[in-house]
Structure 1
């Protein structure tokens, strides 16, 4: 099946934005890389907006978008609502940043929860009985895992740039999150890919999603715990790897499209 690039970018970018804001929320309580939080929130907002616009381009015409939003149970409607809610909480967070710590923390936590949920629901929307290779919970989990890696990688990069004179202890939490995201991306991608397709026939996609998208961020996260002076370089490599992996996983989903009717030798 032809890859829907607008949807690939939509899910990759909004998922990254949601998990990036999750990094902000975590540090609101850890207070280790707080210099990065305002800038990271702005980047998260941009990713949510740009990702949302990518989704709109998939529908091509405004009337198609309005028709989709008239069905509250549809995946498009749910995703649009989640993007809007997450973006709204990020905006309020930015407004409250230097004004109200309690409101800022509440917005960070709620916005992060919605952003994380968005990364899962973006994959959940594809679950359907008619498509054998999509109809598995491993798919939204893979979307979730790859988004975690890319979001935490961007957070680590922003933190490394903002804390240009940081100590290893300050950056520790950012690189721990990055390592956790790498593990999540590698495991969930591997489980999905091996569960629905012959990896031997799609080596490049499998390597891109699992090795580049998961193992690279994991390795950078572990290395960053011991080499704070190379934090920015390691984080930048992790961002590139995680985003490539996220895109590869989503491309694999489209390339592995197998309608259920194929198993019965009929065309519906």
Structure 2
């Protein structure tokens, strides 16, 4: 299947926004990182808006898309509901941060963390289609959640640099750095494990196709029959280089090394977080490119 770049950017920025918002919630639950909460919230809002704008470039008929919102089972309706709910919690988050004490209550932090996870799951669930076996797996949810879990801590570590001097007076900065460092390691591990699991699942989806022999399609007289097994073979087929180098090495191994190194060398944590975040973004884009390249349809194998 051809690359759908608006949707690639949409899922990328949605996962990024959810990751940053969820990381802020983790800091709130840990009772630390007060000064970085507002920059993290603003960043997550901007990422959410950018992702929302990107998806509209995929719609050829904007006027017709509103008809789909009347169907609660459609993926775009569920995504819209999740985005609106997340925006509501972002507003509540902002209200509490603007109060004199500037702290987020535990219940709101839990709600923020839950909606961050729900948004990514709902977004990725929209692509589960029986007609495209490589897409039809809940492991895709986990792969995108792994992206979010990695994007969030690395981004907030970088945002924390502008608040470092203020937090150093009360020790809050050191506690926040410890929580973020651990979160980055956990996120990098989750991103690596879930990306590999999805790759294996996509490879296994080739067994969902049935050979029907050769045929001639009058609507595509010059197009050869597709090879569904080759389309799904992302581990050693045409998309294998993109998967192993782009997704695994650049998008998983490098951020994982940066996360562990940042925990051991706090003085280099910022630079390592920047390298890890850039590589994580590149890997996430490559994952989505592999996702589309493996999306062969069972309908006539085209």
TM-score by length of 2: 0.81
Alignment of 1:80 onto 2:75 = no
**Partner SS, residue 53 of structure 1:** helix
Give 1:172 deviation, angstroms. 1.3
Distance 1:133 1:213, change over 3 A: same
| Counterpart for residue 187 of structure 1 | 193
**Partner SS, residue 264 of structure 2:** coil
Q: What are the equivalent positions in structure 2 for 1:95-134 lying under 5 Å apart?
A: 95-99=95-99, 104-134=105-135
Q: What are the equivalent positions in structure 2 for 1:1-268 lying under 5 Å apart?
A: 1-99=1-99, 104-163=105-164, 169-197=175-203, 198=233, 199-201=235-237, 202-261=240-299, 266=300
- Structure 1: where are the runs of 5+ without partners? none
Structure 2: distance between partners of 1:103 and 1:170:
15
Contact 1:15 / 1:116 at 8 angstroms: preserved in 2? no
Give 1:90 deviation, angstroms. 1.0
Contact 1:122 / 1:143 at 8 angstroms: preserved in 2? no
Distance 1:267 1:19, change over 3 A: closer
- Structure 2: where are the runs of 5+ without partners? 204-232
Contact 1:168 / 1:225 at 8 angstroms: preserved in 2? no
Q: What is the CA deviation profile of residues 1-30 of structure 1, one whole-angstrom value per residue up to 9, with x for unaligned ones? A: 111111111111011111111111111132
Give 1:88 deviation, angstroms. 1.9
Distance 1:60 1:153, change over 3 A: farther
Q: What is the CA deviation profile of residues 207-239 of structure 1, one whole-angstrom value per residue up to 9, with x for unaligned ones? A: 222222222222222111122222221111121
Structure 2: distance between partners of 1:175 and 1:103:
21
Give 1:177 deviation, angstroms. 0.6
Give 1:243 deviation, angstroms. 1.2
Distance 1:185 1:267, change over 3 A: closer
Q: What is the CA deviation profile of residues 135-167 of structure 1, one whole-angstrom value per residue up to 9, with x for unaligned ones? A: 112112111111211122212221234225856
Structure 2: distance between partners of 1:251 and 1:151:
22
Give 1:101 deviation, angstroms. 6.1
Q: CA RMSD in A?
A: 2.1
Name the count of aligned residue pairs.
264
Structure 1: distance between partners of 2:241 and 2:143:
18
Structure number with bigger Rg: 2
Q: What is the CA deviation profile of residues 77-113 of structure 1, one whole-angstrom value per residue up to 9, with x for unaligned ones? A: 1111111211221122112213276765433331221
Which stretch of structure 1 is more off in the superposition, 164-173 or 194-203? 164-173
TM-score by length of 1: 0.90
Contact 1:133 / 1:258 at 8 angstroms: preserved in 2? yes
Structure 2: distance between partners of 1:103 and 1:222:
29
Q: Greater helix share, 1 or 2?
A: 1
Contact 1:4 / 1:58 at 8 angstroms: preserved in 2? yes
Contact 1:90 / 1:108 at 8 angstroms: preserved in 2? no
Give 1:51 deviation, angstroms. 0.6
